[in-house]
Structure 1
Amino acid sequence: MKQASRKIGKQAVNSKPAGAAPSAESAFASYAAPLVDDAIEHASAVREDASPEALHKLRVSLRRLRSLWWAFEPLLDKGENTRQRALYKYLATAAGKTRDWDILIELITQDERVAHDTAPRLQEARGGALATSRETLSNADVKHLLQDALTSAKKELNTAHERVPLQKFVDKRVAVSERSLKKRIKRASHAKRSNYAAFHDVRKAGKKLRYLLEFFEPVLHGNRKRTQKRLKQIQKRFGTLNDVVASEMLLRDNTGLLAGSGDADAALDWLRKERKRRMRAAAGLLRKL
């Protein structure tokens, strides 16, 4: 994925004749088109492939699209941009509902006793979620939705009267994203351990910045290796925290699945302890950033 991002960036830089500085408007399609193609391919694969990996790839591709549309927000119609990003979020959530069950099942298997009693019913629930995900994605007609979004954005940018130098534009957008991450890290550093929302905001801001660096690294000013190292740490530490928090919420919302036994209580107790452990680990990383 990272090599593909570098290739896209080089294509954007070379999208103008020699001697002409590429504009953000003219470079947009070279960033967006491969991402749209990836998302369409992954959405098609999910119809046949029910594996956790297929769903994960689709959700990631849609998140990357949402981040790219955010990056180009200043150049696009605000209302349309908001609608498109909401669409990508909606589709990612549809894929994510099944993925959430996969994560819960994976976590629960770490406790053999709890897993033995709960796994069959959780797998059944996962099957129901997959059917719903597939139906939602099929009804949404992902291919045409994404192609229409790309066509609309390209038309708007290609007919724009002004042109913004690509390097100047991406430097500014990455700087905005970096400031947003710093602000959220500071807020989470002073938040109470019970304030998971503050920790979640750090994760989201870090993920957006990571995607932008992947997109624009070939044309950015300066070396971002130190930033990328921090982002990897955030992604790993805060990602594992988010997994257990989301799994705990999912199980609480579906305790009826394990009704009539102590399985739900045992699973929730294990997840609660794991959440506290991972929250401490995330807070420890914040102190080092």
Structure 2
Amino acid sequence: MTTTVIEIERKYDVDEDALLPDLVGLPDVAQVDPQETLALSATYYDTAELDLIRVGITLRRRTGGDDAGWHLKLPVGTDRHELQVPLEGSAEAPPLELTAIIRGVVRERPLVRVGAVETSRVSVLLRAVDGRVLAEVCDDRVTARRITAGPSEAETWREWEVEFNGEPDGMVDELERRLLAAGARPSARRAKLSRILPMTAPTAIGATAAKAKKATVAEVLAPYLATQVAEMTRLDPLVRADVPDAVHSMRVAGRRVRAVLGTYRDVFDRKRTGPLRVEVKWLVDELGRPRDLEVLRDRLEVLLAGNALSVGSVIEAEHGVAHRAAVEAMMSPRYFALVDSLRALAEEPPWSARAGKPARKQLRTALLEDFRRLERATEEARRGTDVHERASRLHDVRKAAKRIRYSVEAVVPVFGADARRLAGTLAELQDVLGGHHDTAVARLELLRLAEHYPDLALSAALPDLDAATVADEHAYERTVSRLFRPKSRRWLR
């Protein structure tokens, strides 16, 4: 069985003669509980090319302590999303539950042992009044050696590590003050393995963003595309692991790629980018159902209050099915062919002859065309004759707003504040219409669920949804009025 943990920790380098400071009297800490000394042993796995380490992922087999087992750690912002699988006998092959999550990174390359770390740990638990563990402060003496690429000498060092149980609270600042006063130095390393196999965060492939007003089309668009492709690569294992918001973020990155290839289609070889846009849309659509259920779950938790538990279990089950279907699509040859095509796009975009021309004129013309498409969509929305038609046409407005918003964001380096302001207003429009769409979907789902749970009086939430729709309509009209003021688009002409 796989266990999920959000790892929130801070590491500090310390000298051999440093003394762990007194931790009594920290804010919110009622008890300081010393633990027995532990001997921890970890073997790390990666490909021979170190594909995991290069994107900040670690996979290890640990013995000793109360969390012995297989640990897969995925970087999420400044924290790490950790998945744990218990050890089964003496098996040293990584479990399928974890290797499936990193399949998009390692592909068919075998996993081998790349490093070994031995740790002697002395720790104390910081507890709240109710006995709950707030944090564990560890004093680690570490010996590590590289296994891959031939033998290496062992390296030894000492470090202090603070592992928080949940979001850090009031004790954090005072705890760090005491550690620093005792000689600790904040460490730039996330993992012990980085001492022997330096870990680097994923970086975008492609040119450096051009800020000069005389930049060419290629100089402006290449770094934006490379950044979005790198983001999709980073999110791949997080989507497979069902990390919150990962599906949404990957869909956004994919849409940004499609928007640039669509809006600025004349600066690319369309015979190559046209099929790629189709494949990116396929992936975005495959991820759509689990994302819709995530939004629905959050919405109904607020609306249904006490009834949310029963209904929530149904939505969770449906979400599980939808997520498994999305991951299955991401295990297909079609998906891996798309990944390869995206990487090729980032490394060497298929430009047309226009890509070498000045960006300001070429890109402004394309943006103005998209802006007019958005205007036409808003005019069509005003002609909606009933609730369902109105909702459908507003959804079309939202799609048009997304495309031009992402296309405008891509050219902020060359158009500056004007583009940034327009992108901000388009983001507001997108958010308003996103709420409107989510409300319409929630209403339909609520009526469907009411048939399965007649005793829960789910229809009682309908007035709240209707009120939300009215509020979204008013917000939409205000945002559209501001968006189409002459000064908002003057720079496009």
Tell me the TM-score normalized by structure 2: 0.49
Per-residue CA deviation, residues 210-260 of structure 1 (Å, 9 max, x unaligned), is 2122211121277245534432331221111111223344566xx4x7765
Matched to 1:63, the amino acid is R
Aligned pairs (5 A) from 1:123-272? 123-140=316-333, 142=335, 144-151=337-344, 154=348, 156-157=350-351, 160=353, 163-194=356-387, 195-220=390-415, 223-224=418-419, 226-249=421-444, 255=448, 260-262=452-454, 266-267=457-458, 270=461, 272=462
Distance 2:466 2:339 in 1: 40
Structure 1 CA distance, aligned partners of 2:455 and 2:273?
45
Change (3 A) 1:139 1:225: closer
Distance 1:79 1:276, change over 3 A: farther
Matched, 1:74 2:271: no
Partner of 2:154: none
| Residues 242 and 140 (structure 1), Cα distance of their counterparts in 2 relative to 1, 3 Å cut | farther
Cα drift, residue 142 of structure 1: 4.0
**What is the correspondence of 1:24-103 to structure 2 with a 5 Å cutoff?**
24-25=217-218, 27-48=220-241, 50-103=242-295
Contact between 1:9 and 1:218, CA under 8 Å: does it hold in 2?
Answer: no
Asked if the contact 2:297/2:315 (under 8 Å) is kept, the reply is yes
Give the structure with the larger strand fraction: 2
Q: Tell me, in whole angstroms, the C-alpha distance in 1 between the residues paired with 2:278 and 2:454.
A: 40
**How far apart are residue 11 of structure 1 and its match?**
2.8
Q: Which entry has the higher C-alpha Rg, 1 or 2?
A: 2
Name stretches of at least 5 consecutive residues in structure 1 with no aligned partner.
Answer: 1-6
Q: What is the match of residue 208 of structure 2?
A: 11
| 1:176 to partner: Cα distance | 1.8
**One-letter identity of the residue aligned with 1:285:** A
| Gap change, CA 1:160 and 1:236, over 3 Å in 2 | closer
Percentage identity across paired residues of the two chains: 22
Tell me: CA distance 1:58–1:33, structure 2 relative to 1, closer, same or farther (3 Å): same
Q: Distance in 2 between matches of 1:178 and 1:199?
A: 16
**Native 8 Å contact 2:258 2:280 kept in 1:** yes
Over the residues paired in the alignment, what is the CA RMSD in angstroms? Answer: 3.3
User: Any conservation in 1 of the 2:240–2:327 contact (CA below 8 Å)?
Assistant: yes
Match of 1:109, SS state, is helix
Which letter maps to 2:256?
R
User: Which amino acid in 2 is paired with 1:135?
Assistant: E
Against the structure 1 CA distance between its residues 73 and 249, is the aligned structure 2 distance closer, same or farther, given a 3 Å change threshold? farther
Alpha-carbon distance in structure 1 between the residues aligned to 2:405 and 2:359: 19
Question: Match of 2:350, SS?
Answer: helix
Structure with higher RCO (Cα < 8 A, 6+ apart): 1
Deviation at 1:155, TM superposition (A): 5.7
Unaligned 5+ segments in structure 2 are: 1-203, 482-493
Q: 1:263 and 1:203 mapped to 2: Cα distance?
A: 36
> What is the TM-score with the length of structure 1 in the denominator?
0.79
Q: Of the candidates 459, 466, 469, which is equivalent to residue 276 of structure 1?
A: 466
Please give the alpha-carbon distance, in whole angstroms, between the structure 1 residues aligned to 2:397 and 2:320: 32
Q: Partners of 2:410 and 2:333 in 1: how far apart?
A: 27
CA distance in 1, matches of 2:275, 2:458: 39
Aligned-residue offset at 1:33: 1.6
Residues of 1 paired with 2:270 and 2:454: CA distance?
A: 51
Matched length:
272
Q: Which moved more, 1:122-131 or 1:77-86?
A: 77-86
When you count helix as a share of all residues, which structure comes out higher? 1
Distance in 1 between the 2:435 and 2:261 partners?
27
Asked whether the 8 Å contact 1:203–1:239 carries over to 2, the reply is yes
**1-side partners of 2:464 and 2:273: how far apart?**
38
**Within 1, Cα distance between the matches of 2:455 and 2:369?**
46
Partner of 1:13: helix, strand, or coil?
A: coil
Shift of 1:63: 1.2
Distance 2:267 2:326 in 1: 33
